[in-house]
């Protein structure tokens, strides 16, 4: 009988050890005094489009518009800038998908992201708009390392000469999700 209890105890110990390994692999984060097993993610979309006035060609301007953010886990959004608020660093996949228009003819529009004010290499995607207010879709997908208080913002540029053009994101969804 004693051997039976020892083997049962060993099985329970093994179960709890394996459970701890599985939990660790799924990335439970300690955030303050609160253990968070929820996903680290944000989902947002442009609820009110607004034109971004771009005074110079090939210069990035912060994308304008009113964003709605129904899902915010470990992120904070202030003035259209997404700030990472988890204590643990993560690789974060960023997916931006939107339709854009321009008030000029024959313009290449580029959408990119900046992390802490620096252009993220590989985040730039472009589309050629043949006529005024022609709507075209751009999708940007990239991965970036995020640490506490790092921020990401969305920027647009164009190649129109002599320079001034307005770009509007008619639709835009942004999803950020931490890789575990």
What tens digit of pLDDT does each residue of 50-81 get? Answer: 999 999 999 999 999 888 887 788 888 877 78
Say if residues 106 and 134 touch (Cβ distance below 8 Å).
no
E strands present in the chain: 29-31, 34-36, 41-49, 51-54, 61-62, 65-73, 75-78, 81-84, 90-102, 107-115, 118-119, 125-129, 136-146, 151-158, 165-178
Residue 147 has pLDDT above 50, yes or no: yes
38-178, CATH topology level: Jelly Rolls (2.60.120)
> What is the pTM for the complete model shown?
0.76
Predicted pLDDT of residue 38: 53
Instruction: Return d(Cα 129, Cα 156) in angstroms, integer.
Output: 14
Range picked from 8-17, 33-42, 109-118 for highest mean pLDDT: 109-118
Q: Which CA distances in Å does 140 have to 2, 113, 116, 125, 174?
A: 62, 9, 18, 6, 9
The per-residue pLDDT of the chain, averaged, comes to 81
The domains of the chain are located at: 1-37, 38-178
Residue 25 has pLDDT above 60, yes or no: no
Say if residues 174 and 154 touch (Cβ distance below 8 Å).
yes
Predicted pLDDT of residue 3: 57
* Bigger pLDDT: 66 vs 156: 156
User: What's the average model confidence in pLDDT over 130-145?
Assistant: 95
Say if residues 136 and 100 touch (Cβ distance below 8 Å).
yes
């Amino acid at each position: 009988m004693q051997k039976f209890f020892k083997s049962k105890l060993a099985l329970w110990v093994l179960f709890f050890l394996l459970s701890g390994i599985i939990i660790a692999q799924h990335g439970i984060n300690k955030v303050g005094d609160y253990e968070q097993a929820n996903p680290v993610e944000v989902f947002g979309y442009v609820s009110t489009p607004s034109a971004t006035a771009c005074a110079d060609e090939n210069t990035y301007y912060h994308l304008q518009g009113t964003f709605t953010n129904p899902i915010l886990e470990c992120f904070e959004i202030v003035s259209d800038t997404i700030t990472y608020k988890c204590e643990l660093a993560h690789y974060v996949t960023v997916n931006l998908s939107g339709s854009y228009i321009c008030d000029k003819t024959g313009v290449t529009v580029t959408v990119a992201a900046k992390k802490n004010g620096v252009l993220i290499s590989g985040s730039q995607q472009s589309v050629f708009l043949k006529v005024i207010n022609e709507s075209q879709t751009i999708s940007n997908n990239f991965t970036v390392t995020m640490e506490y208080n790092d921020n990401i913002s969305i920027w647009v540029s164009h190649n129109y000469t002599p320079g001034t053009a307005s770009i509007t994101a008619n639709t835009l969804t942004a999803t950020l999700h931490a890789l575990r």
